[in-house]
Structure 1
Amino acid sequence: MELLIIALVAMLTSGMTFFSGFGLGTILVPMFALFFPLPLAIAAAAVVHFTNNLFKFALMARQADWKVVARFGLPAALAAILGASSLALFDRLPALLHYSLAGLVFEITAVKVLIGGLIALFAMLELSHRFQSLTFSRRWLSLGGFLSGFFGGLSGNQGALRSAFLLKAGLSMEAFVATGIVSATIVDVTRLLVYGSAISVGQFAQIETLALPVAVGTLAALIGSLLAKRLLEKVTLPGIQMLVAIAMLGVGFALMLGVL
């Protein structure tokens, strides 16, 4: 049942986020968190996210603007180390609150409040027309890379900020997409290395149990993307983007309340 849930959620989420361009890692995190501690869930979602980006990297890397990658991607990688390391620190903090509802006991922790709050924040940004039209000049690329990398390492949310800063870099559409993919892949590699080194020896058995669920999630996500590509001309993009953002809002608040 666990693998079936992972496969279905990964396939559906990948299909929806194929059109929206954001939300895959965000929605996969709480799904994995149903079965694993939150830091491990974030790492598992990062592996699936990285695999998808790696496939896109192989297709698009030649079209990337590597000067922009250097100015944006390198600060992003350094900041991803800080963000991913901060995740481990928040996870060690004691629970903030316990409460019961309908006979069930829920626990609110600092790391769930932090990650849930960030997910909800970025969901609201995606729903904001003002943010969608917000862009920054090329001179802010390094700052944009740092901010995008930090939040990418901390919670997996990096797409919104990355797009806002790269849009004014004077890139063609192909170079914009390719540069974003390369930068996202750099952040994914960096944060996965930090996540792996931060996991304690006591969690090693759980790491082994992640292998099959992550493999199933990765394969299902690829299938979802392939199916979505066939429907590309039949889908209304704004509607899908709103659906994904609303789902992210629900996930964020559920994490903050300790439900997930």
Structure 2
Amino acid sequence: MIFTTSLALIALVAGAVASLAGFGIGSLLTPLLALKTGIGVAVAAIAIAHFIGTSLRFFILRASVNKRVLLSFGLASAAGGLTGALLHNTFNNSLLGVIFGCLLIIAGVSEITGLAGKIQIKGPLSWFSGALSGLFGGLVGNQGGIRSAALTGFNLGKDEFVATATGIALMVDFARIPVYLAVQGRELIPIWYLITIVTIGVIVGTLFGKRILQRLSQEAFTKTVGVVLFGIGLLILIRI
């Protein structure tokens, strides 16, 4: 009961955070559910809630999507997500967690201090960043941190940033979820009620977070993204 209640509350928070920063559902919920199911099943289960919550967020923000960034960055992310999904049970997740956590902390500090706004990610580097974020999404269910860190170099407005990040996340979900269902579909059936609870929490949090986003200034939004990046990176390192 305590675990289920905690999962529901974190799902609510994750949905709200994702509405503000463009990511956070997988980063916050996957480690928690993994305590009960193991990382492999947790990644697959949270991907379902992630897809539904992300679809809702994309519908709300669809008019603000930067199509150029979505196509160039998103296609690479989808390819990385598919690759990661195929390999996510073969890599050492502890090592991946250390690397990922450190990258998020660096990105968070850069965003908070303003350094990230001076970095421009263009050409092949944007494709590489997209592929890398998708790869982590497929491997350990944490794609948003690297994606959002990379997207800060495109100088997008807050609505454009979240909408474009959301569209890219959706492309990754389309690539990775069929693989998860094919490989681990039977293992997801016994925890259908947990998936349902998480999904409902994410939906409510998404609707709540949108209202907060509308009230944030661009500077406050930038700092929020930085704090979230840093905080999640620190949590990932602590739990390893």
Measured against the shorter chain, the TM-score band is 0.7 to 0.9
SS of the aligned residue for 1:35 comes to: helix
Residue 189 of structure 2: aligned partner: 208
Change (3 A) 1:242 1:216: same
SS of the aligned residue for 2:88 comes to: helix
Over the matched positions of the two proteins, sequence identity in percent amounts to 27
Under a length normalisation based on structure 2, what TM-score does the superposition of the two structures give?
0.78
CA contact (8 A) 1:76 1:145 kept: yes
Determine if the alignment matches structure 1 residue 193 to structure 2 residue 178: yes
Residue 118 of structure 1: aligned partner: 100
CA contact (8 A) 1:137 1:165 kept: no
Change (3 A) 1:14 1:169: closer
Aligned-pair CA distance for 1:123: 3.4
Residue 119 of structure 2: aligned partner: 134
Change (3 A) 1:118 1:139: closer
Q: Distance in 1 between matches of 2:202 and 2:86?
A: 27
Determine if the alignment matches structure 1 residue 251 to structure 2 residue 232: no
Residue 93 of structure 1: aligned partner: none
Residue 218 of structure 1: aligned partner: 199
Q: Distance in 1 between matches of 2:223 and 2:153?
A: 26
Aligned-pair CA distance for 1:195: 2.1
Q: Distance in 2 between matches of 1:174 and 1:80?
A: 24
Residue 6 of structure 1: aligned partner: 7
Aligned-pair CA distance for 1:176: 4.9
Aligned-pair CA distance for 1:23: 2.5
Under a length normalisation based on structure 1, what TM-score does the superposition of the two structures give?
0.73
Aligned length: 233
SS of the aligned residue for 2:27 comes to: helix
Q: Distance in 1 between matches of 2:129 and 2:182?
A: 26
Greater helix percent: which structure?
Answer: 2
Residue 34 of structure 1: aligned partner: 35
Encode CA deviations 1:17-60: one digit per residue, 9 max, x unaligned. Answer: 43344333111111111211111111222222221111122234
Change (3 A) 1:120 1:170: closer
Q: Distance in 2 between matches of 1:177 and 1:45?
A: 20
- Report the residue type matching 1:9 in the other structure: I
Encode CA deviations 1:156-201: one digit per residue, 9 max, x unaligned. Answer: 33334434555566877655543332221010121212222333xx
